[in-house]
Amino acid sequence: MVQETRFDVPGGTLYCRHTDIDASRPSVLFVHGLGESGLCFVEAFQEPAMSPYNLIVPDLLGFGRSTVDAGANFDFAAQVDRLCALLDATRVGSCYLIGHSMGGGIGTELCRLQPRRVDAFINFEGGLTPHDRFITNLALQAERDGRFEAWLRDDFRRGKVQEWALRWPSCVRYAASVEMCLPQAFLGSAREIYRLYEAAPGSTAGLIGERYRQLGVRRVFCWGAESLSPESQRWLVEQSGLVQRRFDSAFHWVMLDRREAFYQFVSGFLLGGR
């Protein structure tokens, strides 16, 4: 049964969907992407493959139903602190971590900054190279032009997102989430993505891609064949040496486009397989 609880964390209040937290079961923390909310993970509560786990699905500060205090920032390190506060509040010492898109970047920083809190990490569609900053680049160009909020409302929400939704039904739910996110949260997160996905010295990967590659935690990178940039695919497949899983016939929202296959893979990986 899905429960809904609000947790006070630094900078605001996190709205969180979760199961009963049973100390005898392993816990899975889900982290959503830019403009998203925990709505993208609601099927996890219905999938039999996920029934052995405590499920913890927050809306990050500034997104979905979470609230933000004045002056709160949206750096990944600050979001990591809030996720750790959430784990403390639910009495979860360590967890399995699933990060989607921007959540893959935040998850990478959680693994890097708080390695004892993560038992295994599934990063799906998290940015790997500077070529994965397409939406971020548009957002920051709109900011430079002095029309960010108009861009978010008209060009992105009513334009690009609706265009995606015509081809990929999985994006229809994203359209609902992106309507709820605060413009300052979207922009602050976009700035952080731009900074951390800049090319790493001596590598075609971004800073965050190299940080992900160097993590010591057991991990796998999942991606949709219809979504990840060709440049990131080449680095991932030919240069990174990373454990990976491609999902055919899937766009950015792999967990919706290939729901059953994705959650079965997740459960199998968390149980120790690849």
Dist. CA 97–CA 160, nearest whole Å: 29
**Domains defined for the chain, CATH in brackets:** 3-270 (3.40.50.1820)
Amino acid at position 160, single letter: K
pTM for this prediction: 0.96
Looking at residue 64, its pLDDT comes to: 97
Number of alpha helices (DSSP H) and beta strands (DSSP E) in the chain: 11, 9
Could you give the angle at which helices 134-144 and 183-196 cross, rounded to 10 degrees?
120
Q: What is the DSSP string of 165-207?
A: HHH-THHHHHHHHHHHS-HHHHHHHHHHHHHHTSBPTT-SSBH
Looking at residue 137, its pLDDT comes to: 95
CA 87 remoteness from chain centre: 17
Helix (H, G, I), strand (E, B) or coil at 109: helix
Looking at residue 274, its pLDDT comes to: 45
pLDDT by 10s per residue, the chain, length 274: 899 999 999 999 999 999 999 999 999 999 999 999 999 999 999 999 999 999 999 999 999 999 999 889 999 999 999 999 999 999 999 999 999 999 999 999 999 999 999 999 999 999 899 999 989 999 999 999 999 999 999 999 999 999 999 988 889 999 999 999 999 999 999 999 999 999 999 888 999 999 999 999 999 999 999 998 898 999 999 999 999 999 999 999 999 999 999 999 999 999 885 4
Dist. CA 180–CA 69, nearest whole Å: 16
Looking at residue 82, its pLDDT comes to: 98
CA distances from 201 to 48, 131, 204, 206, 236 (A): 44, 16, 8, 9, 17
Looking at residue 192, its pLDDT comes to: 96
Rounding to the nearest 10 degrees, give the CA dihedral for residues 38, 44, 46, 49: -170
